[in-house]
Amino acid sequence: MKPIHCLTAAFAATCLLASSVVNAQEASYPTRPVNLVVPFAAGGPTDAMARILAQRLGERLGQQVVVDNRGGAGGSIAAELVARSKADGYTLFFGTTGTMAINPSLYANLRYDPVKDFAPVSLMATTMNVLVVNRQLPVKTLDDLVKLTKTKPNELTYGSAGNGSSNHLSGELFRSAADIRINHIPYKGSAPALVDLLAGRISMMFDTIAQQTQNIAAGKVTALAVNGPTRSPLLPDVPTAQQAGLDDFDVTIWYGVLAPVGTPESIVNRLQREIAAIMGTEDMKARMQKDGATAQSTTPAEFADLIKNDTAKWAPVVKNSGASLN
C-alpha cells in the first residue's frame, strides 16, 4: 500500500495538470467556430442585429461566429436549447427583453430560468418604439390622444404583433400609465397590423422607429411620442412620452449576448471585452442609429442587474394584460 502522502502528491499533480489543460483551452479560445443562437426567424430585426454583431465578433475572435436561427414560442425554444448546451463558450444566446424579462411572466410552463441558467456577457444595443396613430384620428399630441380616449372609452384600438409582444405590452403599459380604456387587437405579426393602421381600421400602434420613419415622413401616420428615455435621432421632433406629459413610461427594448451558466469567467470576460470594443466604434454607432437603435455594452454584472430589474418591471404589466401562453 502506497503511503498517504504519495497518493496526496499524485492527486495534487493530477489536479494541477487538469487545471493547466483547462487554462490553456481558455487562453486559446476560440479554436473553432462559435454558434450564436438567435431566438427568431431570419430576416427580422433581431436576426439583423445578431448578424451585424456576429460578423464583427468573428473578425475579432479569429473564428467564424455562425448565426443559428431557432424561432418558436416567443424565443423560448432557442433559449432552452442554449441553457442546456455545454458551457464552453461555443454556444451563445442572442437574448432580448422578451426572452429574458417578459417570457418568465408570459409563459406558464417556461423550461428555462433567465437568471439561473445563463451567464450574461454584455448588452449589444437598445431600441424603442414610436406611438403612431392613423391620419383619420383628430389628434396632434399625446395629450390630445389621452383626452380623446377618455371621451370615447373602449372605442379606440391599438394593434400589435400578437399577445405578449413588445408592442402589445407597450400598449398595455400606456393604458395603465394614462389610466385610459383602449382595446387591444392582436395580429400575426407587425406587418398586417400596419396594413390596418394605414387603412384606418385600427386607431394606433407602437412600432419600431425604423419601420415607421418613411410612413411618418410621408404623412401616412402621425407620430405622437417615442417610448424611450431620450428622443430618437431619426425622429428629433417627436418627444418622448415623458416629455409629452406621461411620467414613468419607458419601454426600452434591448439585445445582448449570454452564455450557458458555468461558462468559464475568462471566456465570458473575453467575449465582453470584444463586444464592448465592437459597439464602441463610430462605424457601429452609426450603423445602429441608422436602424433606430443605440449601440451599447455593459459588464456581465450590469447586464445581470438589467435582466432582474426588467423582469420585475414587466411582471405586473403582463399580469394586468391578461396575456398567458403555454
Give the DSSP letter string of 196-251: HHHTTSSSEEEEEHHHHHHHHHTTSEEEEEE-SSS-BTTBTTSPBTTTTT-TT---
CA distance 34 to 267: 12
In a domain, 247, yes or no: no
Same domain, 153 and 218: yes
Alpha-carbon dihedral of residues 14, 16, 17, 22, nearest 10 degrees? Answer: 120
Same domain, 170 and 215: yes
CA distance 187 to 239: 27
Give the three-state DSSP class for 138.
coil
Asked if residue 230 lies in contact with residue 240, where contact means CB atoms within 8 angstroms, the answer is yes
Same domain, 118 and 264: yes
**Across 43-117, where does the E strand assignment appear?**
65-69, 91-96
In a domain, 138, yes or no: yes
Same domain, 174 and 211: yes
CA distance 165 to 73: 11
Domain count, the chain: 2
CA distance 272 to 309: 21
Residue range(s) defining the domain that contains residue 193: 128-226
The last residue of one of the domains, among 186, 210, 226, is: 226
Which tens digits make up the pLDDT trace of 39-76?
998 988 899 999 999 999 999 999 999 999 999 888 99
Nearest residue to 118 via CA among 153, 143, 94: 94
Same domain, 315 and 266: yes
Output the domain CATH number for residue 194.
Answer: 3.40.190.10
Same domain, 110 and 150: no
Asked if residue 100 lies in contact with residue 208, where contact means CB atoms within 8 angstroms, the answer is no
Q: What is the mean pLDDT of residues 295-321?
A: 95
Give the three-state DSSP class for 30.
coil
- Write down the pLDDT at residue 18: 46
Please indicate whether residue 21 or residue 243 has the higher confidence score (pLDDT).
243
CA distance 256 to 296: 9
In a domain, 9, yes or no: no
In a domain, 268, yes or no: yes
Output the domain CATH number for residue 273.
Answer: 3.40.190.150
Please check the confidence at residue 6 and state whether its pLDDT lies above 60: no
C-alpha cell at 262: 458555468
In a domain, 326, yes or no: no
In a domain, 6, yes or no: no
Which tens digits make up the pLDDT trace of 243-283?
999 987 888 899 999 999 999 999 999 999 999 999 999 99
Please check the confidence at residue 13 and state whether its pLDDT lies above 90: no
Please check the confidence at residue 8 and state whether its pLDDT lies above 80: no
Same domain, 108 and 256: yes
Report in angstroms the alpha-carbon separations of 290 from 26, 206, 221, 304.
36, 19, 20, 28
Asked if residue 255 lies in contact with residue 125, where contact means CB atoms within 8 angstroms, the answer is yes
In a domain, 172, yes or no: yes
- Write down the pLDDT at residue 19: 46
Q: Using only C-alpha atoms, what is the Rg of the chain?
A: 23
Give the DSSP letter string of 38-61: ESS-TTSHHHHHHHHHHHHHHHHH
Same domain, 263 and 298: yes
The last residue of one of the domains, among 157, 191, 226, is: 226
The one-letter amino acid at 294: T
Same domain, 132 and 120: no
Q: Cβ of 59: how many Cβ atoms within 10 Å?
A: 13
In a domain, 11, yes or no: no
Asked if residue 226 lies in contact with residue 130, where contact means CB atoms within 8 angstroms, the answer is yes
